[in-house]
Structure 1
């Protein structure tokens, strides 16, 4: 074997990825990179702004085959970083710098994987004839709606926020209009137009990798694979291939110092505590709704761990004396909380969740049923499917503008902890926990899909 042949044999297949901002997007990308590196022998290059790279380095510090290339563009100051308009606008500016980086890596690259906020970068990849894929960090159900957005827009001139009745989407359960993602609700809002354009840009990808698995969203996955043509924008004939490869979720890290809230959970009986948290973005309810939630938790009589981080005085958000009255059975935790270890703790019986997709998958992996309380983005879609299709949880009784009074909070907590719906949700959660583990194990549905895709990419190595 000559030197050139030896070099070719030792060269690893190589992919580049470009994630979006926020832990809900970064974590699935890092877990995807880990699987490609550990299980399939790929080298992975993260292309990202400096601030994002810093987060990724921390999350993926133990993997030697993950590399980093930083790219920078002038920042846009008109929107906060969390605003989707910022993400879409900045991606337009990243196209040329990313194309330069991809060009420098072109001889080694077999694929380029981007976040669904970063579909503008597919143009950079296409110009270099590098196959481009989207890693969808939302559910298969939400992806169906994203792809159908342009068709739905052409079918009506009315905003969904003005509709009272259900809306039909091919191959999906009929869903009330208010459960559609906030980006699809108001036709007059700039975000609506940005997501509408993204509906078609998603179709420029060679494939879409979804952070989900067969047993969790079988109906939506079937819709994307078997009836995709009914969801795609007009004029798009084939569309991207679909690859359900989840759940892409971290394993609990036993090496970190044990959090105080976990020590508190150690002292509680098994399956006795309701965990309450509204996500890593530190979203919290308006003060009057926060107080209703507090009153409902107190009235339920059940133990609770409530993560309530705020730049305000938390005591001022709650009713006077609440923490004192509930000190024997409740803990209001105002610091960062390790969600996966909390959900996997034996004392946890249920989860009052905003239904962000990462939190939903973490609940699935831990076998914990959900009280679905969505706040924004596609969380309402997730909540609908969690409660009505997947069977993983229940919803409180909503008032106007998604208001939940203290009586409804108490009722929802009691139902999940002791009612028939709660019993069924707990059984379903236990089933899905095992299904999720099987999906990513050898021979599982998600592992098989990712292995086949990795094989396709390896075949491109010259």
Structure 2
């Protein structure tokens, strides 16, 4: 491969798998190319991104912005290692392949070295900090989740050293510097059980994060003011003792897609139905592209929505092999047809959230969905399903104040009676009014963050200046 010569400042980006991670990387690249005249090179491989996702990158590269895509061959898989970690399966396989990609990535970066002033990678690819640092290229992590989750990850090594117990075995709140006490059940899944391999994988990520030159977070000050203050003012208390300086912290969000980036031909039926509903009267229900409720929980949700009497639009996803008759109560759709819709195909989420008829969002607290809801001024019912969503839910309720939370039954389940209560509360109750007001405030704050002179605009300008001075 020949070296790319350019007069412009040049950054390289290495996103990890998953559309939820790729979208913020693409939006960040657009801003750096369009607003700060950077050349941006995405480096990837077929094991990291699917062909449709790589096609998205190539479409971005042909949009007129100075963005390009480079691929390197996928490393060979170690089947014996994969068998050793059968529990964790796909995730362990991906981490293994990322580890094996250090050398080809370093070789590729070496061909670009004279041009590159910064390298940005993902939380799941912190091992790639090493080849960048070896070539004296400043290395950054673009965190595609909340600042509160970063606080927990940075404090993870200290927490690990302070106790021999697993968090899931503790029945008490835990204090993290600068944050409110948080019950252990809200910590991310990978931090819960210290005997499991995934725990130690994330512990390694926590250590490596401390070696980055900076961490860019897809958030903004008003949404997570307490967590951002903790990361900036008390970061020495969050880092392990052996870390003298640690990475600089840069809140650069919200990085979300524009509504016109969603396919126009999809979801027109649910948008037409919304057009006929009163303002702020409809509860939007969606658990993300990968989130499935159990059949029993789906039935409880259906019966609770029906009993609430509220209007709702439910994007229902389920395993393909599971027929509707096994999860929805008999006659449910016939009974709710005058005030509810069960939508079974892809839906244009940003256009739905920005519709005037939407009054609230039952959300799994995936961070992209949260930021889309914030940017549209829609309050949440926080219903996390796994991973770091529990932590995000806790802080959206306790710190940001734009979400309400159901009362959980054993096993993190929600009864139909509780669904009925929280649906009515969201649309008509006192708590609902409070979170609606807070959501409206945060919508304006998100707009101001990217306006001229806004905090995220200024942070990105500082970064651009720093990187251009590295040339």
Q: TM-score, normalised by structure 2?
A: 0.93
What is the number of residues matched between the two proteins? 453
- How much does 1:257 deviate? 2.5
Q: Deviations over 1:325-348 (max 9, x none)?
A: 111111111101111111001110
- How much does 1:83 deviate? 4.3
- How much does 1:138 deviate? 0.9
**Contact between 2:365 and 2:384, CA under 8 Å: does it hold in 1?**
yes
**Contact between 1:28 and 1:137, CA under 8 Å: does it hold in 2?**
yes
Secondary structure at the counterpart of residue 8 of structure 2: coil
Secondary structure at the counterpart of residue 402 of structure 1: coil
- How much does 1:104 deviate? 0.8
Pairing of 1:327-406 with structure 2 (within 5 A): 327-406=337-416
Equivalent position to 1:302, from 298, 303, 310: 310
RMSD across aligned positions (CA): 1.7
Pairing of 1:278-289 with structure 2 (within 5 A): 278-281=287-290, 283-289=291-297
**Contact between 1:87 and 1:117, CA under 8 Å: does it hold in 2?**
no
Q: Deviations over 1:199-223 (max 9, x none)?
A: 1100111000000001111111111
**Contact between 1:308 and 1:314, CA under 8 Å: does it hold in 2?**
no
Q: Which whole-Å CA distance do the structure 1 matches of 2:329 and 2:421 have between them? A: 20
- How much does 1:81 deviate? 9.9
**Contact between 1:137 and 1:211, CA under 8 Å: does it hold in 2?**
yes
Secondary structure at the counterpart of residue 111 of structure 1: strand
Pairing of 1:57-456 with structure 2 (within 5 A): 57-58=58-59, 61-71=62-72, 72-75=74-77, 78=82, 83-253=90-260, 256-257=264-265, 259=267, 260-281=269-290, 283-310=291-318, 311=320, 312-456=322-466
Q: Which moved more, 1:186-195 or 1:73-82?
A: 73-82
Unaligned runs of 5+ in 2: none
Shift of the 230–12 alpha-carbon distance from structure 1 to 2, 3 Å rule, reads same
**Contact between 1:199 and 1:233, CA under 8 Å: does it hold in 2?**
no
**Contact between 2:142 and 2:217, CA under 8 Å: does it hold in 1?**
yes
- How much does 1:63 deviate? 4.1
Q: Deviations over 1:282-308 (max 9, x none)?
A: x11110011000011000101111111
Shift of the 174–81 alpha-carbon distance from structure 1 to 2, 3 Å rule, reads closer
Unaligned runs of 5+ in 1: 1-6
Pairing of 1:33-72 with structure 2 (within 5 A): 33-50=29-46, 51=50, 52-58=53-59, 61-71=62-72, 72=74
Q: Deviations over 1:37-75 (max 9, x none)?
A: 010100100001133523433466524311011122224
Q: TM-score, normalised by structure 1?
A: 0.95
Q: Which whole-Å CA distance do the structure 1 matches of 2:105 and 2:34 have between them? A: 26
Shift of the 63–174 alpha-carbon distance from structure 1 to 2, 3 Å rule, reads farther
Q: Which whole-Å CA distance do the structure 2 matches of 1:286 and 1:258 have between them? A: 27
Q: Deviations over 1:2-37 (max 9, x none)?
A: xxxxx99x7111000000111110000000000000
**Contact between 1:181 and 1:380, CA under 8 Å: does it hold in 2?**
yes
Secondary structure at the counterpart of residue 68 of structure 1: strand
Q: Which whole-Å CA distance do the structure 2 matches of 1:258 and 1:268 have between them? A: 20
Q: Which whole-Å CA distance do the structure 2 matches of 1:433 and 1:87 have between them? A: 36
- How much does 1:162 deviate? 1.2
Q: Which whole-Å CA distance do the structure 2 matches of 1:329 and 1:76 have between them? A: 53
Q: Deviations over 1:70-127 (max 9, x none)?
A: 1222246646999433332221011011001101111110000000100101111011
Q: Which whole-Å CA distance do the structure 1 matches of 2:398 and 2:198 have between them? A: 28
